[in-house]
Amino acid sequence: MDYTTIDFETATSCFSSICSMGICVVENNKVTEKRSFLIKPEPFEFYDFNIAIHGITPQMVEDCGTFDTYWTDIKPYLENKIVIAHNAQFDVGALRATLDMFGIEYPEFNYLCTVKLSQKAYPELKSYKLNYLSKVLGINLRHHIALDDACACSEIFLRILKDYKLETVEDVVEKFDIGIGKLCSGYYEPCRKNRKN
């Protein structure tokens, strides 16, 4: 199965304050590419709370480009792909808010959330936070480093595919009765834990 996993870190509580992005590309169930971006948020503002979470400081990104300057590099990883994120509501929300701020048209992709999938696949677990889930599944993780989080998300999804002997996104949707999310120009459909009737 081919898909892209993503993770964003933000500089403030504002969804559009992306300061880091991690991308992990999986082709035929093998990781084939990893990309990481440090990004100067617009406006250029950081909260101490956010810095304490991910360790990214204003000094680390002050000479970096803003999100729009990286968009031509980022877009091909998303356009017409299956995109997966852990807590996709946050990551797709951050992407939408940032694209809206810069007046950039949404790419078109379908997406899934490994939080929702893990809740269905491993209902016995006490938590579905990325660090806990990674520990339980034996996945190495430096939490809140965007690339590491994206790669851990890809490994979680691969583990679900393996444990349930699933081969396609259609298999995943059918097995777990999950509502796949969709983003495209002028339209947004959230990923749901259960499909709408």
Stretch 130-136: mean pLDDT, rounded? 96
Identify each DSSP E strand in the chain by its residue range.
Answer: 3-10, 18-27, 30-38, 82-85, 109-113, 181-184, 187-189
| Model pLDDT, residue 195 | 83
| Model pLDDT, residue 2 | 97
Stretch 66-87: mean pLDDT, rounded? 98
CA atoms within 13 A on the CB side of 103: 0
What confidence tier does 197 reach under pLDDT thresholds 50, 70, 90? low
Structure confidence by residue, pLDDT tens digits, 176-190: 999 999 999 989 999
| Phi/psi at 139 (5° precision) | -105, 130
Architecture of domain 3-189: 2-Layer Sandwich (3.30)
Stretch 155-172: mean pLDDT, rounded? 97
Stretch 60-70: mean pLDDT, rounded? 98
Stretch 127-135: mean pLDDT, rounded? 96
Stretch 41-47: mean pLDDT, rounded? 97
What are the domain boundaries of the chain? 3-189
> Residue 10: pLDDT above 70?
yes
> Residue 17: pLDDT above 60?
yes
What is the percentage of the chain residues whose pLDDT exceeds 70? 99
